[in-house]
Structure 1
Amino acid sequence: MVPGVTSTLLLDRPQPARTATRSPFTITEVRWAVAATGLFLFGVGLKFAGAAPWTWWVPLLACYVAGGWEPALTGLRALRERTLDVDLLMIVAAVGAAAIGQVVDGGLLIVIFATSGALEAVLTQRTADSVRGLLDLAPQRACLVLPDGGEREVDAEALRIGDEVLVRPGERIGGDGEVVGGSSEVDEASITGEPLPVPKRPGSEVFAGSLNGTGVLRVRVGREPKDSVIARIVALVEQASATKAKTQLFIEKVEQRYSVGVVAVTLTLFALPLLFGAALEPSLLRAMTFMIVASPCALVLATMPPLLAAIANAGKRGVLVKSAVAMEQLGTVDVVAFDKTGTLTEGTPQVVGVVTEQDEDEVLALAAAAEQFSEHPIGRAVVAEARRRNLRLPEARDFQATPGVGVTARVAGRAVAVRRHDSERTTAVEVVVDGRAVAVIELADEIRPSSPAAVREITVLTGQRPVLLTGDNHAAAQRVATAVGIEDVRAGLLPQDKVQAVREMNGNVLFVGDGVNDAPALATAHAGIALGGKGSALTVDTADAVVVGDDLAVVPAVVSLARRARRVVIANLAIAGTFIVVLSAWDLFGTLPLPLGVAGHEGSTVLVALNGMRLLSAGRRSRVR
């Protein structure tokens, strides 16, 4: 677990996506089973419609039971708390429809709500699991250095400011602090997004959860575990998730008022005529007709089919949009913010040049021969470039790696060293042969081929240039920004800085990233897209959508698709709302024949469903619309 973040942060909160711990099934599995069973029974009932009554009434009534027990139970529980929700209203509408012979209408309503409940359970479970996964980033234990020089393994969350811990090669650092002894290179990609290991020596700052390289470090803890960067990432994700959930409060208020209004009018239509001597059957018929035409079945289909169709279409383009809510959010973004490393760039260093007065291939072959035993990303990049050029590597002996400095070896009888070289614009290493510097090999995190076009299309689509948010240094960030066409560059940002930058932007922000350090910004932004090819599990789970193939060209395409889906939703809501208002008013102030009411209700339902399904065939005619 993350130091300073106890299990109560996540596990003591209500988890609606999971059943009790003794159950072998999660609520997600149960809800999908219920939805599938209800859909199957509904299909069976439709298949035998028109045959002997029992052949289709029985499966449809079984569909009511299979798909309706959970929303009915939820509605009854809400009644105990003196609230009325749409779940109960749908069950009442379905039963009312069945009571006057419209069993198919009620069954369709049941199937829709059962499927929606299953989708909600999936999203809830994924969110809870993704936040829990963050707890694995930091070690549970740390090696505490005692005052007498001895060592003792302790819980990482028990560390206090001033404690000194020993971090051996390959271990994760147990707390934020300062290096007071030893030297090494530390992989901080999970915190800062920096693609290359960072040299650490006495005086350097290190972060809990970052991975130590080949050296041994002695670290003095400088922050309480609960205040570490990784612990704050957890808190930020939790806070942002809770903030997003507030959006649902407005929907619940609308549902409550609508449900109460429909029930009140239905009861009035039934009871009032009886008080004036009307017959029971026509009063019940009129009330049930109102319940049918006023039921929000068409409104539900007005929203879900176009959004689900857009989700399916996005899947064909290589983008996994996780929910209808996520698709809606993508359709309302005003400005886009990109991470740099692993998002606009490939995330791995590559050789971009060799500066030498000697034969370039000969110098590169010597450097690659010395680096061939190294596991450092720079070493791998040098060797990869030599192999790309089909160079023969001479024999190398006496290989030695010095953390934060470089490597040395005897190559074909010559002393070869490849070591860090100061450079303002690129990462660079110096090649030294027999004590004389002979070349500088320049490396850079290569820009994705699709990045410049994606930036241009996003600019056209939103009317605003994207923003670059990165934990890397300003020189490297500016180089990438210039190449892809971004003017607003904000570099050297820790996760909380990215969150603050997103919050300060005007409009609905879409954040695109790939690393664990991007998770808080993804959760805070109005919408988030993660690159799934090399992206961390937490980032993929936190984002609203995932680019499966890491092709940034699909980002403007899916935003354009989401905007089209939003326009279809608005049109559908207008259609569905018009039918409901007209038919309800007809029933209230006139005499609406039941067959006409059912036809109007079903007609509006079919109309909005077909309109939404048009998005399934939306092709690639234009990526930006």
Structure 2
Amino acid sequence: MRDYADKVAGMSCGVATPHRPRTHTQKSRPAAVSSTWALPQVRWAAAATVLFGLGLLAQLSGAPAWSHWALYLACYLSGGWEPALSGLRALRRRTLDVDLLMVAAAVGAAAIGQIFDGALLIVIFATSGALEAVATKRTEDSVRGLLDLAPETATRLDASGEQIVDTAELEVGDVLVIRPGERIGGDGVVVAGASEVDEATITGEPLPVDKTTGHGVFAGTVNGTGTLRVRVNRPAADTVVARIVAMVAEAGASKARVQLFIEKIEQRYSIGMVSATVAIFVIPLLFGADLQSTLLRAMTFMIVASPCALVLSTMPPLLAAIANAGRHGVLVKSAVVMEKLATVTRVALDKTGTVTEGTPRLVVVRPLPGSGVTAAALLAAAAAAEDPSEHPLARAVVAGARAADVAVRSATDFSSVPGQGVRARIGDAVVEVGRPAPADRGQPEVGAALEQIEQAGHTAVVVRIDGDAAGVLGLSDSPREGAAKAVAALAALTAAPPVLLTGDNARAAANLAEQVGFEVIESGLLPADKVGAVRNLESGGDRVLLVGDGVNDAPAMAAAHVSIAMGRSGSDLTLDTADAVTTRDELATLPAVITLARRARRVVVANLVIASTFIVVLVTWDLVGHLPLPLGVAGHEGSTVLVALNGLRLLRERAWR
């Protein structure tokens, strides 16, 4: 059998390459997939089946022998030329292909006058290959539903008016006009207009999402009844759709460890099988056995001992699970990752932007007595320093300043230390905004302000001007919808309470843990501390899934057994480091994808048991009894089809639920 993983990998790598002309407005757009009948394997298998049927009809009706022989030989050609050519090419690479062994067995059957048995083998083998091709195509189609989303043209607004341009030419800062019913051409932010956008293709959310000025939109999503102007904030190669292309291509090209093991022993197994076939043929002849029956037994052995079903036991279910997860907004980067997700025994989650919405609000502005700084001046300095930062807390400070009509000045010499804070020059002053240091708590006025803010469950940050503490800001975040249910589901799945990891203070972490249901909390962590926390968990025997979104989560993600990033709010470094990405930023997908991975693992094990059982039973039957060639063919090819279809069950909606 041809390598299933290579087929899907080739598909997913090639989807985004061609540039086909399309109309600009795409209110309804059919999937860019061909019909099943267009598959050459299906057409050749159908032709072989028809010719076999005609040959059988001619044989049973008493027609001249040459007529049914001619029809059977035509069946050989139509159903056997492709696997024979594939096998010969493999042989030129010094690789023994099971396709060639099947064709050799069919030719051997014809050579001893068993043309019917050989033709039956060709028909069943060709049908099995066609079903494998259909199975591959189903996975391709599921993946293409994710990949073939974004339009190829967009309406760009510039000084000369509106222009229809290729979306591949869009640059950051371009303004697009999105009319009702059109697909959005690039990831960006709405700068004018109001509408509802159907984001189901990206996020899996079934209901349209209201969009107004300031809201983010994704390439490939469908605009509703209003007209939007969108400023592009990602280049075409870095949109969510483009990331999906890259991730699915990587997933298709990868192979699970069990698949690699099977491929490693496949060649040795095939050589051993051919050697055994020769022995089964030659040794009885040396003792005077009949040529025809001996050759028939040897051909039957070669067929039933072929590892086709074993080869197809692993990748179809894993790739089907990857495609199913992708349809529901979880992009798993490889089959190896899907295997790892199935073995997770503990889940650790970052707090801000992962368990919480990641959009905190500024709730307290408290200048310190004796600092000589007013609340407005404190907020202005902090917002100016935070303005270049992408951290959620920084955005909250800047948003709070603008809501209070405080002017935000430009900063110079900006620098950021993940997990600690920012530093910038505002005019002649150096402003630092960051987490409280131990020395801050030792200062009575600063310590009292921190105590009061943290006691209320808020996150506190200290603002320093020219090295001296000038005030404290309090920010508050809220848990994501469904966070408590997700945490409870993860605890039930892994039989271990999920761990909350945060750089925030202990009181703020405890406040969130009480709302969501965390039993284990580790707070006040720097990025290196998160790595240590993950390693401590794994040293105790746990296989940790780490879920996060920020730059400061990336080191811990790399250290964890497996990791998932929040796609909407995640930083580029985090998305690159993570093994999987959830585009929805919905915590409910975490227990769902773990459950799906475990189902995939169970299907792989079941497939291996089915394939091994068929081989052992059929080989034993052939060696110690008399296994008819047609029955051996049916058993061998039937097991191959069975394991392929069993794996494809994971494409169904029910497998996700």
The TM-score range, normalised by the shorter chain, is: 0.5 to 0.7
Q: Could you tell me how far 1:547 is from its partner in structure 2?
A: 1.3
In the TM superposition, what is the alpha-carbon distance from 1:453 to its structure 2 partner? 2.4
Instruction: Tell me the equivalent position of 1:393.
Output: 405
Using the TM superposition, give the Cα deviation of residue 594 of structure 1 relative to its aligned residue in structure 2, in angstroms: 0.9
Query: Aligned residue for 2:346?
Result: 335
- Secondary structure of the structure 2 residue equivalent to 1:619: helix
Matched, 1:423 2:455: no
CA change 1:532–1:277 in 2 (3 A) is farther
Length, aligned pairs only: 439
Whole-Å Cα distance in 2 between the matches of residues 306 and 27 of structure 1? 17
1:553 positional shift: 1.1
Q: Structure 2 length as normaliser, TM-score?
A: 0.54
Q: Write the mapping of 1:321-470 to structure 2, written as runs, cut at 5 A.
A: 321-347=332-358, 349-353=360-364, 375-377=387-389, 380-385=395-400, 393=405, 396=407, 423=450, 425=454, 426-428=458-460, 441-444=473-476, 446-469=478-501
Of residues 91, 103, 112, the one that matches 2:122 is: 103
1:559 maps to 2:588: no
Instruction: Find the counterpart in structure 2 of residue 93 from structure 1.
Output: 101
**1:48 counterpart SS class:** helix
Inter-partner Cα distance in structure 2 for 1:275 and 1:114? 46
**Residues 1:287 and 2:286 are matched in the alignment:** no
Name the structure 2 match of 1:273: 284
Map of 2:325 onto structure 1? 314
1:142 alignment partner in structure 2: none
Q: Does residue 1:545 correspond to 2:545, yes or no?
A: no
Letter in 2 for 1:548: T
* Number of the residue aligned with 1:42: 41
Q: Is residue 574 of structure 2 the alignment partner of residue 575 of structure 1?
A: no
* Equivalent position SS for 2:626: coil
Which range is displaced more, 609-618 or 245-254? 245-254
State the percentage of identical aligned residues. 49
State the alpha-carbon separation in 1 of the partners of residues 128 and 555 from structure 2. 38
**Aligned residue number for residue 13 of structure 1:** none
State whether residues 326 and 544 of structure 1, in contact with CA within 8 Å, keep that contact through their aligned partners in structure 2.
Answer: yes
| Displacement of 1:320 | 2.0
C-alpha change, 1:543 and 1:597, in structure 2 (3 Å) is: farther
Summarize the Cα distance change of 1:384–1:617 in structure 2 as closer, same or farther, 3 Å threshold.
same
**Residues 272 and 510 (structure 1), Cα distance of their counterparts in 2 relative to 1, 3 Å cut:** farther
> How many Å separate the matches in 1 of 2:79 and 2:326?
33
Aligned to 2:634: 599
Task: Determine if contact 1:371/1:380 at 8 Å carries over to the other structure.
Answer: no
Verify the 8 A CA contact 1:370 1:399 in the aligned structure 2.
no
| Offset, 1:302 | 3.6
Deviations 1:544-568 (A, max 9, x none): 4321222121010111122223333
> For structure 1, which segment, 476-485 or 299-308, has the greater mean C-alpha deviation from structure 2 after superposition?
476-485
After the TM superposition, which of the residue ranges 64-73 and 456-465 deviates more from structure 2? 64-73
Deviations 1:272-330 (A, max 9, x none): 22222334443332222112212222233443333333333222321123344433332
The 1-side partners of 2:461 and 2:339 are apart by 48
Give per-residue Cα distances to partners, 1:575-612, cap 9 Å, x unaligned.
33322221111111111111111122233333333433
5 Å-filtered alignment, 1:255-274, equals: 255=266, 258-274=269-285
Distance 1:339 1:439, change over 3 A: closer
SS in 2 for 1:551: coil
The alpha-carbon deviation at position 462 of structure 1 amounts to: 1.2
Asked if the contact 1:339–1:468 (Cα under 8 Å) also holds between the matched residues in 2, the reply is: yes
Q: Distance in 2 between matches of 1:563 and 1:600?
A: 28
Judged with a 3 Å threshold, the aligned counterparts in structure 2 of structure 1 residues 456 and 499 are, in CA distance, closer, same or farther, namely closer
Give the C-alpha shift of residue 380 in structure 1.
3.8
Contact kept? 1:97, 1:103, Cα under 8 Å: no
Q: Aligned-pair distance for 1:472?
A: 6.1
The CA distance in 2 between the partners of 1:89 and 1:70, in whole Å, is 9
Q: Partners in 2 of 1:405 and 1:521 — Cα distance?
A: 24
Q: Name the SS for the 1:555 alignment partner.
A: helix
Q: CA deviation at 1:463?
A: 0.8
For 1:63, the aligned partner's letter is: E
Match in the other structure for 1:64: 83
Pair 472,601 (structure 1): closer, same or farther in 2 beyond 3 Å: same
CA shift, 1:105, in A, is: 5.1
Q: Given that residues 563 and 578 in structure 2 are in contact (C-alpha distance below 8 angstroms), is that contact kept between their aligned partners in structure 1?
A: yes
For the 8 Å contact 1:306–1:565, the answer to whether it is kept is: yes
Contact 2:41 2:129 in 1 (8 A): no
**What is the rounded CA distance, in whole Å, between the counterparts of 1:256 and 1:498 in structure 2?**
44
Matched, 1:300 2:311: yes
Q: Distance in 1 between matches of 2:577 and 2:473?
A: 38
Deviation at 1:459, TM superposition (A): 0.1
Cα drift, residue 367 of structure 1: 7.2
Question: What amino acid maps onto 1:41 in structure 2?
Answer: P
Q: What is the alpha-carbon root mean square deviation over aligned residues?
A: 5.0
- Give the gaps of 5 or more residues in structure 1: 1-16, 19-24, 77-87, 120-243, 357-362, 410-416
User: Which deviations, in whole Å up to 9, do the C-alpha atoms of 1:125-157 show, x marking residues without a partner?
Assistant: xxxxxxxxxxxxxxxxxxxxxxxxxxxxxxxxx
Q: CA deviation at 1:504?
A: 0.9
Q: Matched residues in 1 for 2:654 and 2:257: separation? A: 35
3-state DSSP of counterpart to 2:654: coil
Partner of 1:492: 526
- How far apart in 2 are the matches of 1:575 and 1:347? 47
